[in-house]
Amino acid sequence: MRGRFAEVLLGAGFFGIMATLYLGFHWAPSVSINAFESPAAQRIFYWHVPSAWAAFIAFGVLFVGSAMWFFKRSAFGWRLHVAGTEAGLACGLMTVWSGCVWGAAEWGTPWDWTDVRLNTFGLLTLLALFLVLGRQSQPDGVETRDTFSTFGLYGFVLVPLTYMATRIWQIRHPGPVVAAGDSGGSLESSMALVLMIGALSFTLFIVGHMLISMRITQLEQRLEQVQNSLDGGI
Amino acid sequence: MEGSYYLTTAYLGMIAGLAIWTWTVVTRSRSIELRLAAVESTIGVEAADADSLAPQSIDRANVDATD
At residue A63, the pLDDT reads 97
pLDDT bucket at A99, cuts 50 / 70 / 90: very high
For residues A51 and A40, what is the distance between their CA atoms, to the nearest angstrom? 19
From B38's Cα to the closest Cα of chain A, the distance in A is 10
- Cβ pair B33:A219 closer than 8 A: yes
pLDDT for residue A169 = 86
A40-77 per-position pLDDT tens digit? 888 999 999 999 999 999 999 999 999 999 999 999 99
Size of interface A-B (CB pairs under 8 A): 111
- Using CA atoms, how far residue A20 sits from A24, A79, A195, in Å, is 6, 30, 8
Q: Which pLDDT value is given to residue A30?
A: 83
For residue A182, the model assigns a pLDDT of 55
**Which has the higher per-residue pLDDT, A227 or A5?**
A5
ipTM above 0.85, yes or no: no
Query: Residues B36-47: pLDDT tens digits?
Result: 888 888 877 655
Task: Decide if A105 and B57 are in contact by the 8 Å CB cutoff.
Answer: no
Q: What is the pLDDT of residue A185?
A: 60
Cβ-Cβ contacts under 8 Å, A201 against chain B: none
Please give the pLDDT value at position B62: 46
pLDDT of residue B67: 47
Closest CA to A83 of A141, A195, A6, A161: A6
Q: What is the predicted pLDDT for the residue at A188?
A: 84
Percent of chain A with pLDDT over 90: 66
Chain B stretch 8-67, residues whose beta carbon is closer than 8 A to a beta carbon of chain A: 9-11, 13-14, 17-18, 21-22, 25-26, 28-29, 32-33, 35-36, 39-40, 42-43, 45, 50-51, 53-54, 56-58, 60-61
User: Is the separation of the CB atoms in A28 and A191 below 8 Å?
Assistant: yes
Instruction: Tell me the shortest Cα–Cα distance from B11 to chain A, in angstroms.
Output: 7
Is the pLDDT at A225 greater than 80, yes or no? yes
Whether A44 and B6 lie within 8 Å, measured CB to CB: yes
| pLDDT at residue B1, as a whole number | 54
pTM value is 0.86
Query: B22 or A230: which carries more pLDDT confidence?
Result: B22
The three-state secondary structure class of B59 is helix
CB A66 within 8 A of CB A149: yes
Which pLDDT does position A183 carry in this prediction? Answer: 53
Chain A residues whose beta carbon lies within 8 Å of the beta carbon of residue B57? 229-230, 232-233
Which band of pLDDT confidence, cut at 50, 70 and 90, is reported for residue B64? very low
Tell me the pLDDT band of B50, cut-offs 50, 70 and 90.
Answer: low
More confident residue, B56 or A86: A86
What is the pLDDT, as a whole number, of residue A75? 93
